[in-house]
A and B are shown apart, each in its own frame.
Chain A
Amino acid sequence: METVLRAAAIYLVLMVVFKIAGSRTLLQMTSFDLILLLIISEATQQALLGDDFSVTGAALTIITLVTIDIVLGKLKSRFPVVEQVIDGGPVILVENGNLLTDRMKMTGISPDDVLEAARSGQGLERFDQIKYAVLEVNGHISIIPRADKES
């Protein structure tokens, strides 16, 4: 019982914390963020297993975490509301070259981030070359170039 509750509690805490941190943490993964992730895994390890050194305990912890993931995945595909709450949805940041500043502010994406994605992905330099810039659920910015400005 204890093992299952520990795993479920850690899963919940991590989900809430990373929901609050937003998808930007994944988008802008600096070397410090990588170290932070390593420290987080180190800190959760103690709380997950405690003084349990048995194979059964580790197996039950892994099974619990994976099962919560499977059940949440099933809930997401059945109820779109759950998916919106847990994963969020895509957000349009630039439409036909116009910056949608309100949405950028809410998602914490700066115009520079959009331009960076435009340069690295499509080789575009200016906002008026962008038809749509979309912040996807996985934290990446998709750039769709304007057909007439392309060359």
Chain B
Amino acid sequence: MKKEDSSGQAVPIQENLRWIRLEWLIQRIGEYVLIALVILGACGLFSKGVLSNGSARSPDGTIQVEYERFGRVESNMDMRIRYNAPVTDRFTVTIGGGALDNLQIQTLQPQPLEAVTIGSDLRLTFSARNTGPDHAIWLGLQPRNAGRIHVTIHGDGHAPARFTQWIYP
């Protein structure tokens, strides 16, 4: 330690050991931070993974939604809506809560018979002729803005399933 200091003065080179030690410390800590980020990324903290899989259901259990908790701007994410509808010729599913201000629907399966807007909500009407009560709708979505998105989904007149999605920039 003392030898290092004296040799530093003898040579006409200005070295600042305090900063070098600080840099070394930052590198040591940073390596672990990076490894932690990669492991969290592999687990799905930044979309698509175990940590990102979420599911929500409405209070009466008619609507069940499988969604991704974390998404990324301008990149695709999936959503599956399961609906236990009363047996009739057609059923409706309404996506709202201002979600579609921030989410762009890329794909929608099956195709609805009718799509209408109520305020900023989207009401989709599907055919259900000669089918059972269980239906599924697959959506491919692309977030347009970063931040928190509140989504509500309800079928016909039932109570809605509510959840939020976090979109990374």
Contacts and interface: CB of A to CB of B under 8 A. Distances in A.
Contacts, number: 61
Main secondary structure of the interface of A (DSSP, over half): helix
Given A56-B169, A63-B37, A1 B42 contact: yes
A55 B37 contact: no
Contacts of A63: 34, 37-38, 41
A70 B31 contact: yes
B42 A4 contact: yes
Contacts of B41: 1, 3-4, 60, 63-64
Interface size class of A (residues with CB under 8 A): 10 to 19
Contacts of A55: 73, 168-169
B121 interface: no
Interface string B21-47: 000000000010011011001111010
Interface of B: 31, 34-35, 37-38, 41-44, 46, 48-50, 52, 72-76, 168-169
Given A55-B168, A67-B38, 10 more contacts: A1-B44, A1-B52, A2-B48, A3-B41, A3-B46, A3-B48, A4-B41, A51-B76, A56-B72, A64-B41
